[in-house]
Amino acid sequence: MNTNVPHNNYRKIIHIDMDAFFASVEQRDNPELRNKPIAVGYSGNRGVVATASYEARKFGIHSAMPSSVARRKCPELIFIDTNYEKYEAVSKQIYEIFQEYTDIIEPISIDEAFLDVTENKAGKLYAVDIAKEIKQKIRERLNLTASAGVSYCKFLAKIASDWKKPDGLYVIHPTKAAKFISNLDVDKIWGIGPVTTKKMHNLGIFKGEQLQNMPLQILSREFGRMGRVYHDLSNGIDNSPLEPFRQRKSVGCELTFEKDTCNTEEIYSLLNYLARNLEERLEKADFRGHTFTLKVKFHDFKQITRSLSCSCPYLYREEILSVAKEILKSIPYEANPIRLLGVCISNSIYKPKSYPNEYLQLTLDF
């Protein structure tokens, strides 16, 4: 594959994704943890794995897995409590490297971002050269590895960064995009989850090539307005802009489950994890909000949000978990499995002393 992105009208987009970020930081800082299966997260009965090292992933351990399940899969698994203050400090260093090349940065999470380097501070012609330099600087300055994807749009840059993990670099050239997408399983295309995948299969669509050849009229009939989205993405059309930092008016986090579930015990376990995470985020951001919002996305991608406001700000895990459970009681999920839960605090009437890395608001998207 020719990895030289031409200097023409195409955008030059890089997606950077740190490899097992939390776990890699812990292994870097503690030599005794290197080359061992570790999980970052809460190890208690209702604990959930936030990040697993690559050594742990060999045992089938993954993010959002209940800690009890992870321990059964790997009795030698080492649990490390999350240290968001440390991770945010490292994340700030990573973003400082990004800013050496461009100010058009869309943060996805604490360890992941899109960069538009069409016009870049280094004056480099090829985006792949910038991606190589960023990876090298992250390794040399921080002793960590990152995977990078390069293409002309966000959709393909994201797929490219996942292609050769860990420590990968992959480029999807504009002239190679259609062929690359044609070989993808349809569930690799943005917005196509388990339910849509099944519907695609029923229509005889298993690969990108079959989706490319499906008339737009049929896709629109079967999938509504998303039919146009699937049609465009399968043909390499993605004009979505990068959205740089805007001051946030809320603090939240969410979990996309590895498998959809309607098991109440498992859902409560994940809510507990989210509540602990949100408590830490509120403290770090020095944020006080009076409105709590629970977001629930079901297996069919239908989504609802329910909010509850209080005269006193929501600050602590116990009250966050309590109100989340109370709201959840009003949501019928027994026959409608949940694929994502999100919790958020907003409606602040308190002015924080500072806004440390607000654009790095953690979104736990597993």
The 3-state secondary structure of the chain reads CCCCCCCCCCCCEEEEEECCHHHHHHHHHCHHHCCCCEEEECCCCCCEEEEECHHHHCCCCCCCCEHHHHHHHCCCCEEECCCHHHHHHHHHHHHHHHCCCCCCEEEEECCEEEEECCCCCCCCCCHHHHHHHHHHHHHHHHCCCEEEEEECCHHHHHHHHHHCCCCCEEECCHHHHHHHHHCCEHHHCCCCCHHHHHHHHHCCCCEHHHHHCCCHHHHHHHHCCHHHHHHHHHCCCCCCCCCCCCCCCCEEEEEEEEEEECCHHHHHHHHHHHHHHHHHHHHHHCCCEEEEEEEEEECCCCEEEEEEEEEEEECCHHHHHHHHHHHHCCCCCCCCCEEEEEEEEECCCCCCCCCCCHHHCCCCCC
* Residue 287 pLDDT: 85
Going from the N-terminus, what domains does the chain have, and what CATH number goes with each? 7-172 (3.30.70.270), 177-234 (1.10.150.20), 251-360 (3.30.1490.100)
Give the pLDDT of the chain (366 residues) as one tens digit per residue: 333 333 457 899 999 999 999 999 999 999 999 999 999 988 876 678 889 999 999 999 988 888 889 999 999 999 999 888 899 899 999 999 999 999 999 998 889 999 999 999 999 999 999 999 999 999 999 999 999 999 999 999 999 999 999 999 999 999 999 999 999 999 999 888 888 999 999 999 999 999 999 999 999 999 999 999 999 999 999 999 898 865 557 888 888 887 888 888 889 988 999 999 899 888 887 888 889 999 999 888 788 999 988 878 888 889 899 999 999 988 888 888 998 899 999 887 654 443 333 333 333 322
> Cα angle vertex 85, ends 102, 265, to 5°?
110
- pTM of the full structure: 0.71
What do you get for the CA distance between the two ends of the chain, in Å?
A: 30
Provide the token pair at 249: 């008016």
* Residue 247 pLDDT: 54
What positions carry a catalytic annotation? Answer: 112
* Residue 8 pLDDT: 52
Q: For residue 96, count CB atoms less than 10 angstroms from its CB and return exposed for 0-12, middle for 13-18, buried for 19 or more.
A: exposed
* Residue 96 pLDDT: 96
> Cα angle vertex 246, ends 240, 247, to 5°?
155
* Residue 281 pLDDT: 86
* Residue 353 pLDDT: 43
